[in-house]
Structure 1
Amino acid sequence: MAATYIGIDVGTSMVKAAAFDEAGRPLGVESRPVALDIRDGRVEQDMDEVYGAVVDVLGALTGSVPGPIGFIGLTGQGDGVWLVTGDGRPVRKAISWMDGRAHDLVTAWQSSGLVEAVFRRTGSAVFPGCPGPLLAWLDRYEPESLDAAHSAVYCKDMVFRRLTDDSPPGPGAATAAPVATDVSDASMPFLDPRTRTYSEEVTAALGLSGRRGLLPPVRDPIAVSAVRPGVPGAGTRITSGPYDLAACALGAGVTEPGDGLLIVGTCLASLVVTRELGLDGEPAGLHISTDRPGQWLRAMPAMVGTAALDWVLRTTGTPYTEVDAALEAVPPGAHGVRVLPYFAPSGERAPFVEPRLRAELTGVSLETTGADLIRATCEGIGFAARHCLEAAGLSGTLAICGGGTKSPAWMRLFADVLGRPLRTVTGEVGARGAVLAAAGRLGVGLDTAAWTAPDAIVEPDPGRAGYYTKAYADHLERLTAARSRARAT
């Protein structure tokens, strides 16, 4: 009987496991929501809840799919700080990449030139929700948590450790290996992309030399182990990584220099494959190291994303099922309503770092409808995507994936705003990429072209694309003014 392959994608608000046959056809999906604790600019998650959701979806899926399981690939959300003991248990709640508690620290580092210095060294900009400032904040205000921790890892690393015993290979191994990570997750902000090892210079510059031991060892290539007894899929080979942005690029077939991927999820992530380290320009985004040394993903993972639309839908009392109707009912320009969609409590991180930037709605009157607000928000997110993709150096084809692809009208809007065709890739793209990464690591030959074929091509409308070219210029002008106001606060 043919093998079944499983990919697990531990997202920010949803944990999913997807099964595929050898040709990449989906066989089943299981998902569980996980909560975000958001208060006073701080965003945290319960690690036990996240891990429990992984076990639940894996158990449900392995109990329903046909055939033997060939292997499991694991991916998950990046950044944040997940403090764990030596066996992967939580020291405290995980601090999310959405967290804003370190924004004052980042602002000070920007003023001193430290943010720029780190970027020139690693190709990764520091923002409030990445490990550098979060560890520095904890060292200053909550040192007891760092004292109690064995490692400061990333989401998938915690899950991998608890799913496996992760013992070092070879006979006679008596102790388990330390909780580790991979080059993709380690890329923000400590990894030197040239050597694929941690930059001691950056660690020292961020004031973390005394906490250097918390940084997990980097497994290059990604780690391989077996699911431990007592867990669904026990004995099955499982790999850890890359993290979700890089996994989505693999799952969407974005592997050639110049080609790009737009992920319309909680995070609006723009990725472009490159063989050049672009260490000049505005310090923003990051260079994600890949499984191919000398090739990176120039990433602009903006904080703005579907979370901004979700807020507008909640505020207007509009169900997601009515988004398409709202977009179709309102013409381009949303009757003069404009939205700068920077709703995250930690501001923005790509294609610029502005911790104090907040959303702005203009052109609103008593005649404004909920549909106007929805259209203006979707347009604002589209402008943010165009800004990120231009900064990342997109020159080839563009694929698009994520929860936003469920709205055909929004996909047409994106094509118009971006002024280019979109290769839409639906389904569990991150989980699919995790499987392809595992296949490469384990030497299992899969037809990647079949696995990553687009579901459709969305062409832009020339007239609307021309309108949005002018509207995008207006967006940039309003954004420049908003950034100036944010810095003045």
Structure 2
Amino acid sequence: MYVGIDVGTSVVKAAAFDSGGRQLAVESRPVELSLHGGFVEQDMAEVYDAVVDVLGKLTGRVPEPVELAGLTGQGDGVWLVDAEGRPVRSALSWMDGRAHELLDQWLADGTFETVFRRTGGAMFPGSPGPLLAWLDRYDPSSLDAAATAVYCKDMVFQRLTGAARATTDVSDASMPFLDPRTRTYDNRVVELLGLTRRRRLLPPIGDPIATGEARGEGLPSGTRVSNGPYDLPACALGAGVTAPGDGLLIVGTCLAALVATTELDLTGEPAGLYISTDRPGHRLRAMPAMVGTAALDWVLSTTGVTHAEVDDLLAAIPPGANGVRVLPYFAPSGERAPFVEPHLRAELSGVSLETTRADLIRATCEGIGYAARHCLEAAGLTGSLAVCGGGTRSPAWMRLLADVLGRPLRVVEGEVGARGAVLAAAERYGVSLDAGVWTEPTAIVEPDPERASYYAKGYEEHVARLDVAREAAGRQLRGTGCS
């Protein structure tokens, strides 16, 4: 039995697989997010307890011995721990927006672009650079008390294995301090963000990913465990996206577009990031948008529609949603890919007293689809496209996505991040698993040519409306007085 652990933003999951990649069992437990005034935090103790709980339940259900376990989890944010891996304060989530004023300043004075040109990472309010700089300015005692500023999975790994010090891997380190050419921290970037005196907090990078043995919490004592990659590249592995040009769209809380590449292009509009992988020279060009299923969830809760009703409502309304259009940028911290605009907000247009709930829902799904197309184009997709995430549970939405994107979708269901974590662990430990078998799609969804042609024109209109909205958001930034 092989176990993958995926420490998500709102749910912690553990999945068991046999040697052929068949998913045997899954255990999950929700974890809370604390939201107040743009601050989004998590209790690290609750997160770790959830990991131990789901692992204990999983290994109790499937009696086969655990060959090895791979760990993945949410990226970005700041997880401050002491020398023993204990929390210094609540974790700052990647969804946190408190550092937007710092980001506004860096956008205006050129720091943002300079960092991108050096690292290939476009910072956003919830990335470690802005959050650490905010803490240094407004909560320096937390940084003084910390031994390391790690990422979610790194905290869990240290606690599970009793490692002497928290470490991370090249994928999590990619934003925003890693030089993708040398695979080491760029001290100039640390200096530009005003964090030189906090340089000691950056965790050592395990390259290749770190390994250890479980000490008996959740997993049997002595179980081999590997740390990483984080959830986006883990999903790419779990979906079989490794050949240059092939892509993955994760339809989850955020909408993440990833394209495998061996190139490094630091020109063009600063957006997204290059995620280094465990294989030197191989990267993922990532456009992890803030928009995603959270946008649809908001519309569903506002209209009183359940997830079970979505497929029927999508089928009842023609393409174009009877003239209703949605720019689905609902996140309070704006958007981060394929452009960075902290002040961008959602817009609904074409709404009248005749507009139905089904119109709003279809228009939202279409808007998310257009955002996905924008991200995939910016990421450089040229090959096949796999899709995973919670959105794949809706067949009607997958058909709509295939039409909006104008290409076939390789749908990969199940715990794809956990699957990728196992494949990464197997490669690290030299365990032979057939990745092709492990990553076979569960379905292929073909686009309808007529609807795809309609949506190609709709996408052009979407981009035009977005340009206007971005200009308005930019005027708001310029109005803050930054120069």
Structure-2-length-normalised TM-score? 0.98
The corresponding residue for 1:460 is: 447
Structure-2 change in CA distance of 1:76 and 1:230 (3 Å) = closer
Aligned residues: 476
The corresponding residue for 2:204 is: 217
Partner amino acid, structure 1, of 2:141 = E
1:274-317 deviation digits (Å, cap 9, x = unpaired) = 11101001100000001110110000000001111111111111
Alignment of 1:19-30 (within 5 A): 19-30=16-27
1:55-106 deviation digits (Å, cap 9, x = unpaired) = 1110000001132110000000000111111111111111111111111111
Alignment of 1:146-225 (within 5 A): 146-166=143-163, 176=164, 178-225=165-212
The corresponding residue for 1:136 is: 133
Structure-2 change in CA distance of 1:230 and 1:262 (3 Å) = closer
In 1: Cα distance, 2:471 partner to 2:40 partner: 26
Are the counterparts in 2 of residues 58 and 233 from structure 1 also a CA contact under 8 Å?
no
Does structure 1 residue 386 correspond to structure 2 residue 373? yes
1:90-134 deviation digits (Å, cap 9, x = unpaired) = 111111111111111111101111111101100111111100000
Which of 48, 51, 56 is the equivalent residue of 1:54? 51
The Cα shift of 1:233 comes to 2.3
The corresponding residue for 2:8 is: 11
Are the counterparts in 1 of residues 170 and 207 from structure 2 also a CA contact under 8 Å?
yes
Are the counterparts in 1 of residues 54 and 218 from structure 2 also a CA contact under 8 Å?
no
The corresponding residue for 2:302 is: 315
Does structure 1 residue 85 correspond to structure 2 residue 72? no
Q: Select between 367-376 and 459-468 the one with higher mean Cα deviation.
A: 367-376
Are the counterparts in 1 of residues 209 and 227 from structure 2 also a CA contact under 8 Å?
yes
Aligned residue for 1:441, secondary structure, equals: helix
The corresponding residue for 2:479 is: none
The Cα shift of 1:367 comes to 1.2
The corresponding residue for 1:71 is: 68
In 1: Cα distance, 2:105 partner to 2:355 partner: 40
The corresponding residue for 2:361 is: 374
Alignment of 1:341-360 (within 5 A): 341-360=328-347
The corresponding residue for 1:123 is: 120
In 1: Cα distance, 2:331 partner to 2:47 partner: 22
In 1: Cα distance, 2:217 partner to 2:100 partner: 42
Q: Can you give the 5+ residue segments of structure 2 that lack an aligned partner in the other structure?
A: 477-483
1:160-194 deviation digits (Å, cap 9, x = unpaired) = 1111112xxxxxxxxx2x21100000000000000
The Cα shift of 1:234 comes to 2.1
1:348-390 deviation digits (Å, cap 9, x = unpaired) = 0000000111111111111111111111111111000000000
In 2: Cα distance, 1:358 partner to 1:72 partner: 40
The corresponding residue for 1:261 is: 248
The Cα shift of 1:230 comes to 4.4
Does structure 1 residue 410 correspond to structure 2 residue 407? no
Are the counterparts in 2 of residues 25 and 451 from structure 1 also a CA contact under 8 Å?
yes
The corresponding residue for 1:481 is: 468
Are the counterparts in 1 of residues 148 and 203 from structure 2 also a CA contact under 8 Å?
yes
In 2: Cα distance, 1:150 partner to 1:479 partner: 43
In 1: Cα distance, 2:45 partner to 2:357 partner: 38
1:402-436 deviation digits (Å, cap 9, x = unpaired) = 00000000000110000000000000000000000
Partner amino acid, structure 2, of 1:233 = P
Q: Select between 33-42 and 195-204 the one with higher mean Cα deviation.
A: 33-42
Does structure 1 residue 331 correspond to structure 2 residue 318? yes
The Cα shift of 1:144 comes to 1.1
Does structure 1 residue 399 correspond to structure 2 residue 396? no
User: Which runs of at least 4 in structure 1 moved beyond 6 Å after TM superposition?
Assistant: none
In 2: Cα distance, 1:56 partner to 1:231 partner: 6
Q: Select between 226-235 and 324-333 the one with higher mean Cα deviation.
A: 226-235
Which of 287, 305, 312 is the equivalent residue of 2:292? 305
Aligned residue for 1:138, secondary structure, equals: helix
The corresponding residue for 1:432 is: 419
The corresponding residue for 2:481 is: none
The corresponding residue for 1:94 is: 91
The percentage of counterpart residues that share the same residue type is: 73
In 1: Cα distance, 2:172 partner to 2:284 partner: 12
Structure-1-length-normalised TM-score? 0.96
The corresponding residue for 1:172 is: none
In 1: Cα distance, 2:458 partner to 2:121 partner: 30
In 2: Cα distance, 1:255 partner to 1:232 partner: 30
The corresponding residue for 1:447 is: 434
Q: Can you give the 5+ residue segments of structure 1 that lack an aligned partner in the other structure?
A: 167-175
In 2: Cα distance, 1:396 partner to 1:288 partner: 19
Partner amino acid, structure 2, of 1:445 = S
